[in-house]
Amino acid sequence: MDFLTATTQARPQYGIIIFPDSGLPLPVKFRTQLEIGFGNGEFTVQYAKANPEIFLYGIEISQSCVLRCSRRAAGLDNLKIINTDARYMLRELFEDETLEKIFMQFPCPWPGNGNAHRRVTARDFSDGLAAVLKINGIFEMVSDDENYSREVWRVLGLHEALKAENFEINPAREITTKYERKWLEQGKNIFRLTFRKLKSFTVERRVSQEMHIKIKNKINKNDVEALKNISGKDESKKAFWKFGNNFTDGEKFLLDTLTSDDEFEQKFYINISPRDEGFLIRLDKTSGAFLTPAVRSALTDAAQRLCTGRS
Ligand X SMILES: C[S@@+](CC[C@H](N)C(=O)[O-])C[C@H]1O[C@@H](n2cnc3c(N)ncnc32)[C@H](O)[C@@H]1O
Q: Which residues contact 184 (CB under 8 A, 6 or more apart)?
A: 176, 190
**Residue 59 found at the interface with ligand X (CB under 6 A):** yes
We find the least distance from the C-beta atom of residue 233 to ligand X, in angstroms, to be 23
CA distance to 57, 71, 257, 271, per residue, from 251 (Å): 40, 39, 19, 11
How many chain residues touch ligand X (CB under 6 A)? 19
We find the least distance from the C-beta atom of residue 276 to ligand X, in angstroms, to be 41
- Applying CB under 6 A, which part among 12-20, 173-181, 191-199, 212-220 lies near ligand X? 173-181
Of 141 and 255, which CB lies nearer to ligand X in the complex structure?
A: 141
**Residue 28 found at the interface with ligand X (CB under 6 A):** no
DSSP state of 165: E
- Could you count the other beta carbons within 10 Å of the beta carbon of residue 282? 19
**Residue 169 found at the interface with ligand X (CB under 6 A):** no
Binding track, positions 85-114, relative to ligand X; x by CB under 6 A: xxx-----------------xxxx------
We find the least distance from the C-beta atom of residue 65 to ligand X, in angstroms, to be 5
The closest alpha carbon to 102, from 220, 194, 202, belongs to 194
Q: How far is CA 266 from the centre of its chain?
A: 11
**Residue 178 found at the interface with ligand X (CB under 6 A):** yes
- Could you count the other beta carbons within 10 Å of the beta carbon of residue 180? 19
- Applying CB under 6 A, which part among 126-134, 174-182, 194-202, 208-216 lies near ligand X? 174-182
β-strands 133-143, 99-105: how paired?
parallel
**Residue 240 found at the interface with ligand X (CB under 6 A):** no
We find the least distance from the C-beta atom of residue 281 to ligand X, in angstroms, to be 30
Longest Cα–Cα distance in the chain = 70
Q: DSSP per residue over 15-31, as a string?
A: TTEE-GGG-SSPP--SS
**Residue 58 found at the interface with ligand X (CB under 6 A):** no
Of the candidates 4, 54, 61, 226, which one interacts with ligand X according to CB under 6 A? Answer: 61
Q: Which residues bind ligand X (CB under 6 A)?
A: 36-39, 59-62, 65, 85-87, 105-108, 177-179
